[in-house]
Structure 1
Amino acid sequence: MVSFLSSCNKLGLLFLFSVLLIGFNSCEGRRLVESSETQQPLQFQYHNGPLLGGKISINLIWYGKFKPSQRAIVLDFVASLTSAGKSTTAQPSVATWWKQIERYYQLAKNKNRRSSNLVLSMGRQILDENYSLGKSLTTQQIVKLASKGAQKDAINVVLTSADVVVEGFCMSRCGTHGSGLGSASGKRSKFAYIWVGNSETQCPGQCAWPFHQPIYGPQNPPLVAPNNDVGLDGMVVNLASLLAGTATNPFGNGFFQGPKEAPLEAASACPGIYGKGAYPGYAGELLVDSATGGSYNAHGVSGRKYLVPALFDPAASTCSTLV
């Protein structure tokens, strides 16, 4: 069933990754970065493969117990990505952050004419509150859950609750993106999927930084989560990173830097950077909500505030932040 799998977020000293591989891996997650004095310039390459283009729905598959208030955090984030969010929210916004992805599409069009602009929208929600596959999942089972969503013109996002153990979760990854094989209109075709786990009780020091004290590296005080939910705010950061990687490198032959077996993608090339001046243990200069004390760098719909990762600018060869 699976054509490609991906995994990410191996936490070591200063949260530097080492990537675990299963077939093609594109990875993303949470890590701190080396200082600018030691970091080498990245040279992104386009490998002439298709990007996700056209009208794409984001289907959310909720596995396990999530409160309605928790689901609302993610739903509002997805809504914030759409064109409607561009004119209804304050700046800097989630929509403005996502618009940076267009740089990749323009470069792809210059190389070949197969790439079309990407327009995201909210799709279906599937609730699996009864743990149909149990509370301990393998990577294959994650792909099986993802296949429950639409398998054409969609990104199927599996979100597992805090009491669900997933193969490699915390030990080697906080989330993953890849593709599987499904049937659409009687034809076998690839579909893109993402998995993100709620790390609130299992490994917040690894997967919910900077909203929790880190396990490794500099021990700066954690930031206040903008939506007052360490687990869900952490999931949003990982989801944002994985969406960027999925759009620009969905099948392992899009945009990435380094070897195909361990690629750095649009967001994973800028680990731990959320604002200007970021360095290991410090997320950068962020905005702070005067009422809640929550740290953020992007406004969303419904008055929401979010933290989104820096994205690599392939034209300037730098990590670009909103603040």
Structure 2
Amino acid sequence: MTTLPLTFIFFFTSSVLLSSSASVETLDLKHHHDDKPYTIINPKLQPNTFTTSNKYEGSSNLVNVQYHMGPVLTSPINIYLIWYGKWTPPQKQTIKHFISSISTNNNHHHLKPSVSDWWKTVTLYTDQTNANISNRIQIRGEYSDTKYTHGTHLTRLTIQDVIASSLKAASFKVNNKNGVYLVLTSDNVTVQDFCRAVCGFHYFTFPSKVGSTLPYAWVGNSGKQCLQVCAYPFAVPGYMGGGGPGSLKPPNGDVGIDGMISVIGHELAELASNPLVNAWYAGSDPIAPTEIGDLCEGLYGSGGGGGYIGNVMKDGSGQTFNMHGVNGRKFLVQWIWSPVLKACTGPNALD
């Protein structure tokens, strides 16, 4: 679950990072649409809390992510998109391109570092039979509810009603084997705890509501509600004015959608590794588990941790990103906790 308390800590400490001096390193990487090489913004950071090695930013022997014997998504993952509210075609396309970038089947389209390489960390998690989380992900169906069938304010329970009514109206069927349902709410839909405590969450449906137990996730577009909370670092809080950092330029030109991308990645990683809230997480409380995305929230590159976003890339037009996707897309996506390194990691690590 993408929660806000960590995010507010991130806001406070980031002002120290981005207002400090920074060195810039030119990389020998070019995109076919760019006529300038990428640069890496490499801020001068304070020493990491846990270690002096940049490779283990965010690592700690105190973090104990354990397996609780539940299932993980080892079969090819079929994603069913439910667009609730009004969405423009470019908004939908950006999100679908990100999801399509995850699967290694599309890896030949990617420059490095890639979204599919980012997902490889997620595939390190296994089930009781030692089977890994699948690296095959595809969008198998879509449904758009432009009539706001359940109103413009949703609760956690009515989101399940959205799934139930969408399944009845959509052309896709209930997939109990390897289906994942992703509910995306438009920027004029308010959701319980949205902007106050969460930017997205995942859970499973109740048979009494939907008829089956299905893993699902919800992510909202914060565009008209709380960009400075759920689309950071593409938007910054007002109290950071003056001495605080300037917002970063989104790679796809839409602050709300670019902010959603990292939250979607966060929730899909946790949904794959903890679909029924009884698989991989830290802590002793399954009702409020600390999952593999939570541990790395706000961390996007080497030299990060303790609230610092880390080293990220900037292209010739000033767009900030840390990985490539299909169709020439660029994305800024948070890192994920590695069960091997016992640390947050990503494909753009510099060491």
**TM-score calculated relative to the size of structure 2:** 0.77
306-315 or 210-219: bigger deviation: 210-219
205-214 or 145-154: bigger deviation: 145-154
1:12, distance to aligned residue in structure 2 (A): 6.8
- Sort the Cα spacing of 1:169 and 1:216 in 2 relative to 1 into closer, same or farther, 3 A: farther
Aligned to 2:48: 36
Aligned to 2:143: 126
Aligned to 1:221: 246
Contact 1:158 1:194 in 2 (8 A): yes
Aligned to 2:221: 198
Give distance in 2, aligned partners of 1:43 and 1:281. Answer: 20
What's the secondary structure of 1:222's corresponding residue?
coil
Aligned to 2:152: 135
Give distance in 1, aligned partners of 2:8 and 2:213. Answer: 36
- Sort the Cα spacing of 1:37 and 1:158 in 2 relative to 1 into closer, same or farther, 3 A: same
Contact 2:2 2:267 in 1 (8 A): no
Aligned to 1:163: 188
Aligned to 1:14: 9
Give distance in 1, aligned partners of 2:130 and 2:104. Answer: 23
Give distance in 2, aligned partners of 1:244 and 1:254. Answer: 13
1:282, distance to aligned residue in structure 2 (A): 3.5
Show CA shifts across 1:245-288 (max 9, x none).
00001111111111323222111111210011124554211111
77-86 or 142-151: bigger deviation: 142-151
What's the secondary structure of 1:284's corresponding residue?
coil
What's the secondary structure of 1:103's corresponding residue?
coil
Give distance in 2, aligned partners of 1:231 and 1:144. Answer: 25
Aligned to 1:87: 108
What's the secondary structure of 2:100's corresponding residue?
helix
Q: 1:203-214 to 2 correspondence within 5 Å?
A: 203-214=226-237
Gaps of 5+ in 1: 1-5, 17-33
300-309 or 150-159: bigger deviation: 150-159
The letter of the residue matching 2:77 is I
Contact 2:296 2:344 in 1 (8 A): yes
Aligned to 2:346: 321
What percentage of residue pairs aligned between the two structures are identical?
A: 34
Give distance in 2, aligned partners of 1:14 and 1:216. Answer: 13
Of the three residues 106, 113, 122, the one matched with 2:129 is: 113
Contact 1:79 1:301 in 2 (8 A): yes
Give distance in 1, aligned partners of 2:183 and 2:239. Answer: 28
Q: 1:136-285 to 2 correspondence within 5 Å?
A: 136-147=153-164, 148-149=166-167, 150-152=174-176, 153-182=178-207, 189-214=212-237, 219-259=244-284, 260-279=286-305, 282-285=308-311
What's the secondary structure of 2:249's corresponding residue?
coil
Aligned to 2:23: none
Contact 1:53 1:115 in 2 (8 A): yes
Give distance in 2, aligned partners of 1:116 and 1:74. Answer: 25
1:170, distance to aligned residue in structure 2 (A): 0.6
Contact 2:7 2:297 in 1 (8 A): no
What's the secondary structure of 2:198's corresponding residue?
coil
1:9, distance to aligned residue in structure 2 (A): 3.0
The letter of the residue matching 1:76 is H
1:151, distance to aligned residue in structure 2 (A): 3.8
What's the secondary structure of 2:194's corresponding residue?
coil
**TM-score calculated relative to the size of structure 1:** 0.83
Show CA shifts across 1:67-95 (max 9, x none).
10000000101111123321111011111
- Sort the Cα spacing of 1:57 and 1:276 in 2 relative to 1 into closer, same or farther, 3 A: same
- Sort the Cα spacing of 1:206 and 1:35 in 2 relative to 1 into closer, same or farther, 3 A: farther
1:55, distance to aligned residue in structure 2 (A): 2.0
What's the secondary structure of 1:156's corresponding residue?
strand
The letter of the residue matching 1:91 is K
Give distance in 1, aligned partners of 2:290 and 2:8. Answer: 19
The letter of the residue matching 1:113 is T
Show CA shifts across 1:139-176 (max 9, x none).
11112213334342211001101111111111111111
Give distance in 2, aligned partners of 1:281 and 1:263. Answer: 21
Give distance in 2, aligned partners of 1:71 and 1:133. Answer: 21
Give distance in 1, aligned partners of 2:276 and 2:48. Answer: 31
Give distance in 1, aligned partners of 2:2 and 2:115. Answer: 25
Task: Report runs of 4+ in structure 1 exceeding 6 Å deviation.
Answer: none
The letter of the residue matching 1:9 is L
Give distance in 1, aligned partners of 2:248 and 2:149. Answer: 35
